[in-house]
Amino acid sequence: MIAKAQRALLLAASRNDALREAVERAPVTRDLVHRFVAGTGDDHALEAAAEQRSRGLLVTLDRLGEDVADEADAARTRDAYVGVLGRLSALGLSDGGDVEVSVKLSALGQALGRDGESVALENARTICEAAALAGTTVTLDMEDHTTVDSTLRVLEALRAEHPWVGAVLQSQLRRTEADCRDLATTGSRVRLCKGAYAPPETVAFTDPHGVDRSYVRCLKVLLHGEGYPMLATHDPLLLEIGEAVARDAGRDADAWEVQMLLGVRPQEQARLGSLGRRVRVYVPYGDDWYAYLVRRLAERPANLALLLRSLTSR
Ligand code: FAD
């Protein structure tokens, strides 16, 4: 497991502009970027989505970017989602939710002062209306632990109009098992992940085994519940446990899904897909790719070594 100090260093690197430029310039690191990020524009996102669909995999598109500076920025994010949903629909990619979108509320204004939550809700509502027209769904990504209550309030408001809006819960948080119970209801789509942030011990399990044990408790609640569970992990043991619990719970193959990130364990994604499992690939795209890339590298030392080799082998 990557040392805490190394992880902290990488997260600091995610905010370093000089390093970002070096990564952008080096031809080999560009390849690395393309492994984890579809590209910067809508065309790249649509191409990547079509490619995953041709492999029989489902897709959720994430336009990278978080914590917008003002309402105009938040509106730009909203309009970009509406635009890409229109194009997905025109291409027939969004039918039946085959390609959906993932949205971060902070990119829609959630952190903008006292009215942030309602700004984000209005923007998310517009995106949901566009998704409904395109015949697909929206999933609200979960960000750091201080945003969970606000995100779940927005979810509730959106689900009153669009019951198919999904949410993400993070097993690293102590509250999540209870949140899973609340959300394991008919029609509710819940993506369960470990969590990509670094919350304090007061609210989170900080050792990896605690996070994994919590993940197992949560997946049991979701798979035995009434909703539609989406297990987002690359962890072979958790995936195996998920399969076994889904079987025990009598879930049909189309009554839950596995989700993985673009570029992470692609062979396993294909293998699970070929066995008839519903597998959805999270495809990030957009100009703000750098912080996302560094977060992925922080999760796995082998990826970090790849980046360092790329930067030094020009
Ligand atoms: P890890 O503990 O990172 O890895 C466990 C094991 O998986 C490893 O030991 C290894 O065996 C295998 N593995 C992992 N990576 C690789 C690799 N590159 N190659 C080969 N084997 C590998 N986080 C949030 O906080 N909010 C979100 O909204 C959110 N959405 C997500 C959506 C999706 C679809 C996915 C997949 C993740 C999302 N995440 C989100 C990120 C998530 O919280 C984790 O940070 C990330 O998925 C890594 O956790 P993991 O479950 O894969 O386990």
- Which of 60, 194, 230 best tests ligand 1's pocket when mutated (most atoms within 8 Å of CB)? 194
Ligand 1: residue whose CA is nearest its atom 6: 235
CA distances from 53 to 46, 95, 198, 265, 273 (A): 10, 12, 33, 17, 11
Categorise residue 65: left if φ over 0, alpha if ψ from -120 to 50, beta otherwise: left
Token pair listed for 282:
């999270």
Question: Which CATH fold topology does 38-285 show?
Answer: TIM Barrel (3.20.20)
In the chain, domain spans: 38-285
Q: Answer yes or no: pTM beyond 0.90.
A: yes
pLDDT at 314: 42
Least confident window among 33-37, 52-56, 209-213: 33-37
pLDDT at 219: 98
* Residues lining ligand 1, Cβ inside 6 A: 141-142, 168, 170, 191, 193-197, 232-236, 259-261, 264-265, 282, 299-300
Report the alpha-carbon angle 269-275-276, nearest 5. Answer: 95
163-204 pLDDT, tens digit each:
999 999 999 999 999 999 999 999 999 999 999 999 999 999
Let me know: does 2 contact 301? Beta carbons within 8 Å: yes
- Which of 57, 105, 165, 193 best tests ligand 1's pocket when mutated (most atoms within 8 Å of CB)? 193
pLDDT at 272: 98
* Residue indicated by tokens 């902070």: 106
Mean model confidence pLDDT for the chain: 91
Catalytic: which of 191, 277, 278, 280?
191
pLDDT at 28: 54
Ligand 1 atom showing the smallest separation from residue 302 Cα: 18
